[in-house]
């Protein structure tokens, strides 16, 4: 939080204005507000995010200049979030692509649990899926270490060579 430049009460750092913003955030369930006024800027984030958002709200919200926030942008932000995790860690997110043509299975058999789910950590030898080709069930290893950020193919979906299957965050 930036220091106020004046005690005059004008600008984004005015205490009463700041408290009003916090109230508005609670009232409208906003997680983040980023205000700019010429050379001044304040960014307020609210804690206790829904885990499904990937632990991070889109920093794409346009500056809200003390107007009642329109219903659309905040609602839009969460749906934009699924792609958001890429923005901060882009260079560390790697795609695991299919090495063959076949049918993709997330689990070893219909009754078992999936090999991996989003959030799991994998090692190079971890089996992440099965690709069935010509009646042979091939267990596919991750071949890298990291955290599963996304599973891009559905169970029993056909895949071609090179099709992206998983997003792995190698820092995770």
Partner 1 sequence: MFNRILIANRGEIALRIIRACRQMGIETVAVFSEGDRGNAYLDLADEAICIGPAKSAQSYLKIDQIISAAEVGNVEAIHPGYGFLAENSHFNEVCRSCKIDFIGPTPEAMDLLGDKNRARDIARKAKVPVVPGSDGLLSDEDEALKVAHDIGFPVLVKATAGGGGKGMRVAANDLVLKTAIQQAQSEAKAAFGNDGVYLEKYVERPRHVEVQVLADLHGNVVHLWERECSTQRRHQKLIEESPAPNLPQETREAMCKAAVRLIKSVDYTNAGTVEFIVDQENNFYFIEVNARIQVEHPVSEMVTGIDLIRAQISIAAGEPLPFTQSDIVQRGAAIECRINAEDPDRNFQPCPGLIKNMFTPGGMGVRFESHVYPGYVVPPHYDSMIGKLIVHQPTRSEAIACMLRALDELRIEGIKTTVPFHKKVLQHSEFVEGWVDTTFVERVILTK
Give the footprint of partner 1 on this chain (CB under 8 A): 100-103, 133-134, 158-163
Question: How far apart are CB 153 and partner 1 at their closest, in Å?
Answer: 13
Q: Please identify, using beta-carbon distances, which residue of 2 and 133 lies nearer to partner 1.
A: 133
Burial string for 64-89 (b: 16+ CB within 10 Å, else e) reads beeeebeeeebeebeeebeebbbeee
Q: Which is nearer to partner 1, 163 or 167 (CB)?
A: 163
The three-state secondary structure class of 79 is helix
Q: Name which of 17 and 97 has its Cβ closer to partner 1.
A: 97
Q: 65-71 long-range CB contacts below 8 Å, 24 or more apart?
A: 65/35, 65/37, 66/17, 66/20, 66/21, 66/35, 68/24, 69/24, 69/28, 69/30
Question: Cβ of residue 14: shortest distance to partner 1, in angstroms?
Answer: 57
Q: Which two tokens stand for residue 110?
A: 């219909």
CB-nearer residue toward partner 1: 10 or 136: 136
Q: In the complex, what is the shortest distance from the CB of residue 103 to partner 1, in angstroms, rounded to a whole number?
A: 7
Shortest Cβ 98–partner 1 spacing (Å):
9
């Amino acid at each position: 939080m930036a220091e106020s430049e004046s005690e005059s009460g004008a600008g984004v750092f005015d205490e009463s204005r700041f408290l009003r913003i916090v109230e508005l955030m609670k009232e409208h369930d906003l997680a983040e507000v980023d205000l700019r006024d010429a050379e001044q800027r304040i960014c307020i984030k609210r804690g206790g995010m829904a885990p499904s958002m990937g632990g991070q709200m889109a920093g794409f919200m346009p500056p809200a200049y003390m107007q009642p926030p329109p219903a659309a942008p905040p609602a839009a932000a969460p749906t934009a979030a699924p792609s958001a995790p890429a923005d901060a860690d882009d260079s560390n997110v790697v795609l695991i692509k299919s090495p063959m043509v076949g049918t993709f299975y997330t689990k070893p058999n219909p009754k078992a649990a999936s090999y991996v789910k989003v959030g799991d950590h994998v090692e190079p030898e971890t089996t992440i899926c099965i690709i069935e080709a010509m009646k042979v069930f091939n267990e596919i290893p991750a071949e890298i270490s990291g955290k599963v950020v996304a599973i891009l193919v559905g169970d029993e979906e056909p895949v071609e060579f090179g099709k992206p299957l998983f997003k792995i965050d190698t820092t995770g």
